[in-house]
A and B are shown apart, each in its own frame.
Chain A
Amino acid sequence: MIIGLQIVTLLFSFVMVYFAALHYKRGEIDRIEIIVWFIVWSFAIVAIVFPDLLQSFAKEFKFARLFDMMVVGGLILVIAMVSKAYISTRRIEKKVEKLVREEALKNVKK
């Protein structure tokens, strides 16, 4: 069961590394971002293949199991990313609103 789960999560991690590389190639993310993503997914791959390596690390942070630490870590990462996406969406919305309204006010038809 664990081996099966490891294979699935390992495949998922490799697919995500591929997507990160693809976005970098297309110029949608910059060098710093691709490095961050490589670090994140490399860490995940190491944790999946060698779970015992991180066991002592999990104990240090008072997690009973490595799995619990990974879930909490993943959740923190997701919350941080959703917050970042929300802020960036709001920023874009405001910019679009300003642009559209300024353009409209320039072309008032009498």
Chain B
Amino acid sequence: MSKSKIFIVTPSFNEEKHIGRTIKAALSSGLPIILVDDGSTDSTYKIASSMEIRTIKHKTNLGKGAALKTGCEAAFAAGADAVILMDSDGQHKNEDLDKFLKALDRGYDVVFGSRNLNYGVPLVRYLGNKIASLLISFLFKIYVSDIPCGYRALTKNAYKKIVWESTGYGVETEMVINVGMSNLKYCEVSVETVYLDGVKGVTLLDALGVLGDVIRWRITK
């Protein structure tokens, strides 16, 4: 798979503090970048659109899932064969990109990033992730060790098969469930994560909402 046909897709919402640094780091990879500003009210879009990347703006905040979908569709319309999904708050390290590229080269359709305790994941989150993994494994027969990790890669073919309906934080879980229900080839790679903002990201309320979605998907999918 040609490197120029692998795009980085990054959804962004009110990330003016980190966006400049994150994009600069991602640009050093040489991969084309698509940033989807999900209705930010700060200067995230202004900063991003001044850089050498493709930018897309949602007029209103729809949620991470919707922003990822827009980004993937824009990437595939621009000729991408695969996308690497990366958070815009600088959580995901550029150094791990190679692991995704190698896995895509080996023929995997979907590559899941997986954080572990050695890479600074707080214990409570680690345990929560493990419980979620076991629950999904029990309900959908697919075990992914770090379901909420948004650092992922997927091919165009995989996207068509697993396109999600979640607009919010349920997207990562739904993606895993959809992969489990398809016959796609997937693997996990270990990634490092830096926790920058304590209050951002998935909260307990979000997690409860996702749990409700999981039960609904078990019935409807």
A contact set with B: CB distance below 8 Å: 93, 96-97, 100-101, 103-105, 107-110
Contacts and interface: CB of A to CB of B under 8 A. Distances in A.
B54 interface: yes
A97 B66 CA distance: 7
7 contacts: A97-B62, A100-B39, A100-B66, A104-B59, A108-B34, A108-B54, A108-B56
Contacts of B74: 105, 108
Given A97-B62, A100-B62, A101-B62, A107 B57 contact: yes
Contacts of B73: 101, 105
Interface in B57-74: 57-60, 62, 66, 69-70, 73-74
Nearest to B36: A104
B129 interface: no
A103 B73 CA distance: 13
Given A93-B167, A97-B167, A105 B70 contact: yes
B29 interface: no
B30 to A, nearest CB: 17
Nearest to B69: A101
B55 interface: yes
A7 B62 CA distance: 46
Nearest to A106: B56
Nearest to B73: A105
A100 B66 CA distance: 10
A101 B63 CA distance: 11
Interface of B is mostly: mixed
A105 B34 CA distance: 11
Given A100-B39, A105-B77, A108-B74, 11 more contacts: A97-B62, A97-B66, A100-B60, A101-B58, A101-B69, A101-B73, A104-B36, A104-B57, A107-B57, A108-B54, A108-B55
Nearest to A110: B54
Contacts of A107: 56-57
A58 B147 CA distance: 53
B4 interface: no
Nearest to A99: B59
B69 A96 contact: no
Contact of B54 (A96, A97, A109): A109
B49 interface: yes
A108 to B, nearest CB: 5
